[in-house]
Amino acid sequence: MTRIFCIGELLIDFVAENQGSDLSVANEFTKKAGGAPANVACAIAKLGGKSNFIGCVGKDPFGTFLLNVLNQENVDISLAQRSKKFTTLAFVSIAEDGERDFVFSRGADKELKYDSTIRNKFQGHMVHFGAATALLGGGLEEAYGHYLFDAITKDCFISFDPNYRVDLWKDKEESFIKKSLAYVEKSHLCKFSLEEALLLSGKETVEEACIKLHEVGAEIITVTLGKDGTYVSTPQSQKTIASIPVNPVDTTGAGDAFIGCLLYQIAKLDDSGSLATNFDLLCNMVGMANKAGAITTTQYGAIVALPSLEQLQA
Ligand code: ATP
Reported ipTM: the value is 0.97
For the stretch 19-60, pLDDT in tens is 777 899 889 999 999 999 999 999 999 999 999 999 999 999
In a domain, 13, yes or no: no
CATH at 162:
3.40.1190.20
What pLDDT is attached to residue 207? 98
Give the pLDDT band of residue 271 (cuts 50, 70, 90).
Answer: confident
How many A from CA of 162 to the centre of ligand 1?
Answer: 15
SS3 of 72-131: the string is HCCCECCCCEEECCCCCEEEEEEECCCCEEEEEECCHHHHCCCCHHHHHHHCCCEEEECC
Lowest-confidence segment of 84-88, 156-160, 261-265, 295-299 by average pLDDT: 295-299
Amino acid occupying residue 217: G
State the closest ligand 1 atom to the C-alpha of 292, by its place in the atom list counted from 1.
Answer: 16
In a domain, 137, yes or no: yes
- Best CA proximity match to 79, nearest among 34, 124, 37, 137: 37
- Best CA proximity match to 50, nearest among 5, 9, 7, 117: 5
In a domain, 274, yes or no: yes
In a domain, 99, yes or no: no
pLDDT at 273 over 90: no
In a domain, 263, yes or no: yes
Question: Left if phi > 0, otherwise alpha if psi is -120 to 50, otherwise beta: which for 181?
Answer: alpha
CA–CA separation, 286 and 234 (whole Å): 13
Residue nearest to atom 16 of ligand 1 (CA): 293
CA–CA separation, 56 and 193 (whole Å): 26
In a domain, 282, yes or no: yes
Q: Would you say the CB of residue 225 lies under 6 angstroms from ligand 1?
A: yes
Residue 299 lies in domain: 3-8+36-86+110-307
State the closest ligand 1 atom to the C-alpha of 194, by its place in the atom list counted from 1.
Answer: 6
What pLDDT is attached to residue 98? 66
What mean pLDDT is reported for the chain?
94
Number of separate domains in the chain: 1
In a domain, 80, yes or no: yes
In a domain, 94, yes or no: no
CA–CA separation, 45 and 259 (whole Å): 13
